Amino acid sequence: MTTMQSVTAHPAWRALQAHYEDVRDQHLRALFAQDPKRGERLALEAVGIYLDYSKNRITDETIRLLVELAGQAGLRERIDAMFRGERINVTEQRAVLHVALRAPRGASILLDGENVVPRVHEVLDRMAEFADRIRSGAWLGHTGRRIRNVVNIGIGGSDLGPVMAYEALRHYSARDMTFRFVSNVDGTDFAEAVQDLDAAETLFVVASKTFTTLETMTNAHTARDWCVERLGGDEHAVARHFVAVSTNAQAVAKFGIDTANMFGFWDWVGGRYSMDSAIGLATMLAIGPENFRAMLAGFHAMDEHFREAPFERNLPVLMGLLTVWYANFFRAPTVAVLPYEQYLKRFPAYLQQLTMESNGKSVRLDGGPVGCDTGPVYWGEPGTNGQHSFYQLIHQGTHLVPCDFIAFGQPLNPIGPHHDLLLANVFAQGEALAFGKTPAELRAEGTAEWLVPHRTFEGNRPSNTLLLERLTPAALGKLVALYEHSVFTQGALWQINCFDQWGVELGKVLASRIVPELAGGGAELGHDSSTNALIRRYRRLRGR
């Protein structure tokens, strides 16, 4: 691996540093006053998403310099390398081709000279056929009853995508079926998920790229015991009540699932980029193949936009560059994602894995130190709930928290005044954060002098507003792809590998060492004094 330059060494970085000294003292109130058309000018509409980025602490020069930085950091080359199927995940020697998962039939994306798109559609077709059989009642359980419950067992990317998409697209889901998602190794997760389900009508989807993940395998074994025991102790029941989604056919067969009931994907799909692969089987079972394909078309539309649009008119690139601007120049350590859409309630949790497992890195691709802050902490909750909880800190706290507001013009449940009230709130929050309320305004209203500092909103708190027409499967695909490529843009600038996750390994190894120690007895504990004391105390609590 050739040594690369830290992003901080690029001329545009130094120019941005100087520029930041100028911008940080400018207030959004002044920026809007100087340019009455700012709110329309600093907005971008593409593939059905309207992004208003005018309430950011930027000028035209900021965007110009950030785009220049993207050029100097080789963003274009990185995008092309990904789409060309190069092994850009260098530490695992893998290509990164989630974009192939949503390429239309007939497209060509080559990996080592082979077009992978036909393989993608072959699996999609099998998934669709299976989903139709389950949804129509043609597939029967071991005792001849139709399947009414689907339990997805997976964790990380094999859970967060499916559960987020199910919740997001619940409006389009089969209402005569029940969907549950079990991820945690805490037995409560499984116990609560199945406590009111009839095994004779339940299908388990065991979703695991590796089919070795401790949590998923533990839950899958528990599910198998639960199912077989309730269906008369007959192991043959497994064939009618378990399907697998994995890249590891051998492990699937070893578990006892017929590989005819397995839906595959490939090592070039990262776990957190897999909700549109076979990992989306539970999603497809819920919303049906046609809606699933519409979601894929949404992803693809954003992929094409990302690949083709010039950086200054490119939604994911702009959002990624703004994230870098705040993370590195304002040193803002977090980003809040605030969907004003109840169906997107798991979207922030989904984004946490996508953004933080991808960009929570300290070394560059060549192993050298990054030299600046990388991936910010993503967090959030749907509005308006968050307003009555943590927004206080965003408005008046000491931390700068850039916000992404997400809203839809058309409600899926048009009931009375609800949607106008919802949208009035999202617009009001962006306005309040940007413009605040000055001491002069408070005094003019007759606020007592001693209360003025408490009631002042300094404003100048940045936000993006994403406005879409309606939450459809295609819109969800576009939104997810938007954040995927924003993450890619950030990672390209920092020269990090967005596609490995070595940081989760150490804890896994240590846990497997501790498991037998919890049983008690045996050899001396060899950990630090804190860990030893906790293990001993736990043993006592369990009477061991």
How far is 439 from 253, CA to CA, in rounded Å? 69
Nearer to ligand F6P by Cβ, of 348 and 459: the residue is 348
**Minimum CB–partner distance for residue 265 and ligand F6P (Å):** 10
**Binders of ligand F6P among 177-196, rule CB under 6 A?**
none
**Minimum CB–partner distance for residue 13 and ligand F6P (Å):** 30
Q: Mask 216-235, x = binds ligand F6P (CB under 6 A)? A: x-------------------
Q: Report which of 407, 422, 423, 402 is spatially closest to residue 336, judged by C-alpha positions.
A: 402
Q: Which two tokens stand for residue 9?
A: 């060494």
320 binds ligand F6P (CB under 6 A): no
Nearer to ligand F6P by Cβ, of 211 and 311: the residue is 211
358 binds ligand F6P (CB under 6 A): no
Residue 199 neighbours by CB under 8 Å, 6+ apart: 226, 227, 230, 231, 241
Rg of the chain taking only CA atoms, in angstroms: 25
Opening angle at CA 186, ends 201 and 204, nearest 5: 20
β-pairing verdict for 403-408 and 377-379 = unpaired
CB atoms inside a 10 Å sphere around CB 444: 9
Query: Has 221 been annotated as catalytic?
Result: no
**Which of 152, 158, 328, 463 forms a contact with ligand F6P (CB under 6 A)?**
158
**Minimum CB–partner distance for residue 507 and ligand F6P (Å):** 9
Query: Has 357 been annotated as catalytic?
Result: yes
Residue 175 neighbours by CB under 8 Å, 6+ apart: none
7 binds ligand F6P (CB under 6 A): no
59 binds ligand F6P (CB under 6 A): no
272 binds ligand F6P (CB under 6 A): yes
Nearer to ligand F6P by Cβ, of 244 and 315: the residue is 244
Residue 415 neighbours by CB under 8 Å, 6+ apart: none
Nearer to ligand F6P by Cβ, of 51 and 150: the residue is 150
Catalytically annotated residue among 236, 418, 454, 508: 508
How far is 309 from 315, CA to CA, in rounded Å? 9
**Binders of ligand F6P among 487-526, rule CB under 6 A?**
501, 504
Q: Mask 455-494, x = binds ligand F6P (CB under 6 A)? A: ----------------------------------------
Stretch binding ligand F6P (CB under 6 A), from 94-102, 202-210, 289-297, 458-466:
202-210
94 binds ligand F6P (CB under 6 A): no
**Which of 53, 65, 109, 156 forms a contact with ligand F6P (CB under 6 A)?**
156
β-pairing verdict for 114-115 and 110-111 = antiparallel
**Minimum CB–partner distance for residue 333 and ligand F6P (Å):** 23
Q: Confirm if 418 and 456 have CB atoms less than 8 A apart.
A: no
**Minimum CB–partner distance for residue 544 and ligand F6P (Å):** 28
Nearer to ligand F6P by Cβ, of 303 and 357: the residue is 357
Residue 185 neighbours by CB under 8 Å, 6+ apart: 214, 215, 218, 219
Size of the site for ligand F6P (CB under 6 A): 14
β-pairing verdict for 202-207 and 178-182 = unpaired
Q: Taking phi first (over 0 means left), then psi (-120 to 50 degrees means alpha), and beta for anything else, what does residue 399 get?
A: beta
Q: Confirm if 203 and 151 have CB atoms less than 8 A apart.
A: yes
Residue in the structure block whose two tokens are 């989807």: 205
Q: Which residues bind ligand F6P (CB under 6 A)?
A: 155-158, 208-210, 213, 216, 271-272, 357, 501, 504
Catalytically annotated residues: 357, 388, 508
